[in-house]
Each structure stands twice: as C-alpha cells, then as structure tokens.
Amino acid sequence: MSAVDLKTFITGYLAEVEEHLRMAERNLLEAERVEAAGGSSARQVRALFRSMHTIKGLSAMVGVEPVVDLAHEMEAALRVADRSGTPLGGAVDLLVRGLRAVEARVRALASGEAVPPAPADLIDALAALGLDRLGAEVGDLGLPEDVRSRLGPGETQELAHGLARGRRAVRVDFVPNPSRAASGLNITAVRERLGRLGDLVKVIPMSVPRSPEAPVGLSFAVLMLTGAADAEIAEAAGMPLDAVSSLVGAQPAAAPAALPPPAEDEEEVELRGEVVRVPVARLDDVLDRLSVLVVSRSRIARAVAELASRGVDVGALSHVVQESTRHLRDLRAAIMRARMVSLAELLERVPLIVRGLSRTVGKEIKLDLDAGRAELDKAVGERLFPAVVHLVRNAVDHAIEPADERERAGKPRAGHIRVACHERGQSQLELQVIDDGRGIDQAALARRAGRDEPRDPEELLALLTEVGLSTRDQATTTSGRGVGMDIVKRVAVDQLGGELMVATERGRGTAFTIRVPLSLTIVDAFCFHSGERTYVVPMSMVDEIVELEPDRVHRPPALAGALVGLLDRRGEAIPVVDLEAWFARRPAGGGGRKAILVRRRGRPLAFTVDRMLGKQEVVVRPLEDPLVRVPGVSGTTDLGDGRPTLVLDFLALGGQVRAAQGGP
C-alpha cells in the first residue's frame, strides 16, 4: 500500500481553519460583551461550538492531533454551556487561552515547523469545564483496527454519546477519482454535504490498493452521527449504497428523520459555493504578468508616437492602443479587487489583543473600531498590521492611566482607544489610533534621550522613533524594549512609502496617524522632465501642480543651496526646491516653469520641473538592495524606452531638504 501524502490538503486546511479561528474569536468576545450587558449569549456560544467542531474535524483529517485535543476539550465545555443555558462567565479567559494555543500550533504547521503537543495543564483545565462527558467505557463500535487506532478518546466518547441519545453512528467510505472530481466531488465538498445531514466526528484518510476505482490509492473514512437514511447519505457522498455502513449499537433508519428547523437567529446563508480560495502567490503571479503587459503597452505607445512624428498615418493603430489601454486598466482594476481585503477583516483581531493586554496590565479599556468599508491590497495589509498592533500596545501600556488615576483626573475609569481608518481619494488609506490617556510628556522624553525638548510634532515623532528609546525603566511582557515606534516608522514610511504623524496633549490623549498607498506594484503616476532626466512620482503623493509665475516667487537673501525661493500660494509661503540642483548638489538655478506641490505632515513643499509629460500607469520595481537605495528614490520603472526611470518619493525627499536647510 502507498503512504498517504497529506501535503496537498494543508493549504486548504490552513485557509479554512484561519477563517473559523477568526469567527471563534469574534463570537467569544461578543458572548462576553452580551453577558456583561445582562443578555443571553446562547447564539454566540452555539456559533463558537460549531467553529470548534469544524476545526476539530479538519485537524483530524490532516493529522494535527494537538489541535484535535484542544478543540475537542473546548467543544465539550461549549456543549455544556449550550445545553444548560449557563453563561460562559469565567470560562472566557480559559477559552481565549485555548484559541491562542490552537492558533500557535496552526502557525507552526504553516511555517513548516514541528507542531508542539497541547499543553497538559490547559487540557486539564478545559477538561474540568467539560462536564458533559460520558463516563462509561466504550467498545470498539465495530470499527477495524486501522480506524479504531486513529480515534482519540474525544471522538470515541462523542460517538458513544450520540449512540446513547438514540442517534445513528455511520461510516461513509469516500474514494476520490477523476470522474468524481470532474463532477465537483472532492473530500471538501463531500464533507460539507454530509455535514448538512448530521454531525461529522472524524474524517480519516486511508491508504488502499490502487485500482481503477481508486487510482491514487487513497480513501477517506467519514464517521458521523446522523438521522438520515443510508440512501440519502450515499447520494450526498456520491458513492454507492454499500459505501455506507452503520456502526455497532444502531439500526439503519427506515426514512430520514425530520430535522427541527433552526431558530431564526441560527439560520445561515450558504455562500461557500460562490467563493473560491486562491493562494496569494497566484495573484502575485497574475499581477507580475499584468506588469509586463503594462510595460509592453508603453513601448507600443512610444513606437506609435515615433511613427506619427515621421508622418505615418497611425490613426487606426492609435485607436487600438487606446482600446488596449482601457482594457488593461479594467484588467488591473479587476485583479486589484481580487487582491483587496477589508480593513474590518484586517483589524478583527485587535479586540482580542486589547482584551489580553488590558488584563495583563490591569487596566479597563474600551475599544472603538471604525473600519468602514475601506479596503487595501493584502500585501500592504500584512505589512501594516504589525504597526497597528504596536500602536495599540503602546496606547494600552503607556498612554492609558490606571482607573484610580483617571478618576482623580475627572475621567471615566475605563480608558478609550479608537482605531479608525478610511480611504483618502482612490489611492491612499489613512489609519488613526487615538487614545484619551495622559498624553506624551515631551520634556521627560527629551531628558531621557539626552536631547532638547521637541519644538513641534515632527521633532517629537523623530524622538519617539529613535531605536532603543523607551519611557519605561524596565522591559515588561508588553513593552519597554524601545523598538515599538521604530517598527511603526519602518513599516509605514520605509517599507510602504507612507507618512507617520503624531499629535498629543498632556492630560487629554495622543493620536497617531498613518497614511499609506492602497497598492504598491502598479500605480498611477505623473511623468515629468527635470534637467536632462525623466522622473516619475506617484499621484497619491501629489497635492497640486502649479505654474511658477515669476512675480509669485520670492527669493529672500538668506536662502541658499537648492532652494529657489518662496511661492506665494493662496496667502501661504511655500518653499520651492530646484529638483535638479538638489540631485546635482549645486546651487539652485532659475528653476522650472512648473512645480509639483506635496504636503509632508501637513506642511507644503514644492519641487520645480521643466515639463510635465502627463499621467501614466507605471510598474514600480522597489530598490531592495541597501547598496543602491537612495533616500528620496522609492524604485524604478520602465516607460517603454527600455531604460530605467527613477520613481521619486517626494515625502522622503522633503524631509531631506528640510533637514539640509536646518529645519525639522
């Protein structure tokens, strides 16, 4: 017999278990909130029970026994709460520990590491909650040794418990083959279809001799508790009637038992058939291929323009280029929609994190999440989430005062943290973490760093993001290592090319704002000439493009270096920088005829350009090698001429210019 390779099931397993873990976390926190308000958590407990039951079955199918053990004990405790109608109460903390233990083992499996066994103390504590255990010894249920040996005590007791309540214990043997796969029948689909007819106890992969019926030498033994007839079960599994057998202790039912209709609040809409899970790597590959098409389109457009300059009639060809441009933009939009994830989905773990932190530091915290309908690229979201976690952690540990101190200051005992985000235009996301804590003591922070007290928010942020600087004397389990804000800056500014801002008021609170692009690979950008070079700048960075009228630009005698002068724009004096002079490190010349205006942390700055070439989709290739990275240059692109064109980061460049001029 050939060994069964379960690696092909791991990807689907990880995706589905992660989904059920997130659902379980939401329902557990909601159950705690409802019970605290004096309501009934029956609906949440029932949904949580279903999630843990599914996680147990999936984990058993791929042989992750530590997760099976944890999920079973949690399921048993939840069964007690569901049937008795008693609130979870103090069991919530233990169930949270169980979810984290499951998540840690799933993460180990995903990273290819050995899955550690379930903690014995946690298993014992969870088992003490599961009062609905069957104490009687259970026989072999008529199962062969190769199946019985792979049943844990939990599954055996579940089968026996179902038999004691008069339900049928059934084994269904599903054999995958090409003909069944062509009709949409695989083990995932069969598991879902059988799950509608009863409770799945375990799905066991089995090695069988290769044959025309089983060409890959693989079979699945599905053990379930049901009231349905054998014919209905066989039809759901897509197998002949002899693939269904009753276990010892039950007689075949003559007809399907009528299942009680679900309560109104338990009804679920089955949407799985409308969802296809696709690995992110495949979407990355599609985006890479689209990037090649975008560059090829640019080359074709350039070739058509050259033919037109020679007097060739390119009317029909220009129309084709325009049509292909539109289609590529539509294709890009469709691919980006497939890559986008909801901010609400990205932040749904924050409440559980805050709950754990608040108990660790002994503070009362009220969390307000406002993600709206904002979405962003999954790759951006995965990088951004650790920064959000650090900001929230700092707010809980550093900013929010203990309850007694808050009462003395005339504040509510519970500290308030608000995490809000929304889209700015079509290409940028703004995310804020706001607290009503004690605010930042800038003088104390400066003394600790051995620096002068910050004069404005930019200097304060520069101080906060210094590596190794912390306001705590000793490191704790939550903070004090001096790396949190540095990580936030590295993610938001260095990796994502965004902005990080801070605003604080002593005794009132602190607000951190992060602005990042929604996507990093294919962006809409302005192309322009400066000196003898062509550059590109993402449109998301540009606040305005202005004409440089000589009578509106003033050059005070004190200005030097690359600064051209000050532009009077709507009553505001805006510094104007000669871009070519800055890169060449020479005094400014007359500057260009236009200027691109950006706002760095709310403060305007303009860069002169000689000629704007228009708007274009570009493929940004980031500069990953530290030996070739240049501040103010975020990457390169190909505009169709086969030569690399620099993609400028005017926000980072603005910081350099201000620092060179002695400003913050």
Closest CA to 193 of 228, 225, 236, 256: 236
C-beta separation of 634 from 497 below 8 A: yes
Least confident of 9-23, 133-147, 409-423: 133-147
pLDDT bucket at 417, cuts 50 / 70 / 90: very high
What was the pLDDT predicted at 252?
39
630: pLDDT strictly greater than 90: no
Least confident of 73-82, 160-169, 369-378: 160-169
Query: Across residues 618-636, what is the average pLDDT?
Result: 74
pLDDT bucket at 587, cuts 50 / 70 / 90: low
Angle at 57 between CA 257 and CA 347, to 5 degrees: 115
- Rounded Cα gap, residues 170 and 176, in angstroms: 19
pLDDT bucket at 476, cuts 50 / 70 / 90: low
- Strand 509-517 to strand 428-435: parallel, antiparallel, or no bridges (unpaired)? antiparallel
Query: Across residues 503-516, what is the average pLDDT?
Result: 89
pLDDT higher at 425 or 129: 129
What was the pLDDT predicted at 662?
58
pLDDT in tens, 217-260: 888 888 888 888 899 999 999 999 988 988 764 443 333 333 33
**What is the residue-averaged pLDDT of the chain?**
78
CB atoms within 10 A of CB 650: 25
What was the pLDDT predicted at 337?
77
pLDDT bucket at 418, cuts 50 / 70 / 90: very high
- Rounded Cα gap, residues 441 and 460, in angstroms: 10
What was the pLDDT predicted at 132?
40
pLDDT in tens, 251-274: 433 333 333 333 333 333 333 445
Query: Across residues 624-633, what is the average pLDDT?
Result: 71
What was the pLDDT predicted at 373?
77
C-beta separation of 79 from 49 below 8 A: yes
Query: Across residues 634-661, what is the average pLDDT?
Result: 77
- The single-letter DSSP state of residue 41 is -
- Rounded Cα gap, residues 175 and 187, in angstroms: 9
- Rounded Cα gap, residues 61 and 176, in angstroms: 15
CB hemisphere CA count around 190 (13 angstroms)? 26
C-beta separation of 617 from 330 below 8 A: no
pTM, entire model: 0.63
What was the pLDDT predicted at 262?
37
140: pLDDT strictly greater than 60: no
2: pLDDT strictly greater than 50: no
CB atoms within 10 A of CB 375: 21
- Rounded Cα gap, residues 225 and 158, in angstroms: 9
C-beta separation of 595 from 606 below 8 A: yes
The first and second tokens of residue 545, run together, are: 């493009």
- Rounded Cα gap, residues 437 and 411, in angstroms: 9
In 209-279, which ranges are continuous DSSP H helix? 230-237
CA 376 to centroid of chain Cα atoms: 9
pLDDT in tens, 8-62: 567 777 878 888 888 888 888 888 888 888 777 777 888 888 888 888 878 877 7
Give the H/E segment covering residue 325. Answer: helix 315-339
Query: Across residues 566-584, what is the average pLDDT?
Result: 79
pLDDT in tens, 381-409: 888 888 888 899 888 888 899 989 999 88
Q: Show Cβ contacts of residue 523 under 8 Å, excluding neighbours closer than 6 positions.
A: 427, 517, 538, 539, 540, 617, 618, 620
C-beta separation of 362 from 402 below 8 A: yes
C-beta separation of 172 from 244 below 8 A: yes
